[in-house]
Amino acid sequence: MKSNGKVVLLTGASTGMGFEMMTRLAAAGYRLCVLSRSPELLRSDLLGGRWQERIDVFGVDLKERESVDKAVGETLELYGQIDVLINNAGFGLVSTLEEVEDSEMLEQFDVNLFGLVRVTRAVLPTMRRQGEGVIVNISSFLGRVGLPLLSFYNASKYAVEGITDSLRLELAPFGIRVHSVMPGFFSTQFARSNLRINAGIEQEDSPYRSLSRRLAPKVLRQINEGNDPRLVAEAILKILENPEAPVRIPVGETARRFLTMRRELNDKEYERRVMEFYGIETE
């Protein structure tokens, strides 16, 4: 896909990987329409920037169908086309299954999965009429492997992978490609702005307090010492510019290591290595 004249609709670009995707795609010649929950803040961050003229920002609440439809409609009014959809918006819930609040787990899926579905559903009629398009879902290596305290984030990303696989088959007759990018841990603001911690696991009387004390610092350190988020933007460009690009692309050392272990080891050996790495003890 040549970038000239192509319009990219991107969700979740205020920080970290999303911001890097936005600026890298603009630099490559794409026109960006960004859907953000904090549009004024993002516009302020872009003010005076080199690629500001190639980027338009619209406010959206991914949990509301009317808000999503309005934002997609504004994009079409402005450009008349949508050639690429990148579903990047999401957050991570840190909680045990036992202690999670209903509101927490429902919001995890409402944003990470159903928000993705709402935006994709709103874009598909346009792509079908065009007879072409590319959809890239930003998943995670945690969409294929599990980690404790991230059960609901894991589950939402597993679901994104399932949606990706089914949607590829549904949309192939219309000339629409569907891919996923599976980042590992990256040095972004994700840990500061996109992680939400269940209050229960921080209580001294939580039966999982010992586990959370061991695991959380290691995960945060992996994020802070993670890979450059530009690698994710480069993976997206690879997908856009190569019709034969892989269905899914793992990005970063953590993603490749964990996904390789999960593929090559049996369940028992894989779990043993994860528990050993994160210091998870059994009685």
CATH code for the domain in which residue 154 is found = 3.40.50.720
Report the sign of the C-alpha dihedral through residues 189, 14, 40, 153, in that order: negative
pLDDT digits (tens, 9 = 90+) for 263-276: 999 999 999 998 88
Token pair listed for 23: 């600026």
pLDDT digits (tens, 9 = 90+) for 192-240: 557 788 999 889 999 998 888 888 777 777 766 667 788 999 999 999 9
pTM of the shown model: 0.92
pLDDT digits (tens, 9 = 90+) for 146-190: 888 899 999 999 999 999 999 999 999 999 999 999 998 876 555
Per-residue model confidence (pLDDT) at position 213:
84
Alpha carbon distance 128, 123 (integer Å):
9
Return the bridge partners of 196, or none. Answer: 93
User: Is 105 a domain residue?
Assistant: yes
Alpha carbon distance 275, 105 (integer Å):
24
User: Is 190 a domain residue?
Assistant: yes
Alpha carbon distance 22, 18 (integer Å):
6
Token pair listed for 145: 């492997």
User: Is 2 a domain residue?
Assistant: no
Least confident among 8-12, 117-121, 253-257: 253-257
pLDDT at 96 over 90: yes
Burial class of 123 by CB neighbour count within 10 A (0 to 12, 13 to 18, 19+) = buried
Q: How many domains does the chain have?
A: 1
Catalytically active residues are: 14, 139, 153, 157
pLDDT digits (tens, 9 = 90+) for 97-122: 999 999 999 999 999 999 999 999 99
Residues spanned by the domain of 179: 7-278
Per-residue model confidence (pLDDT) at position 245:
97
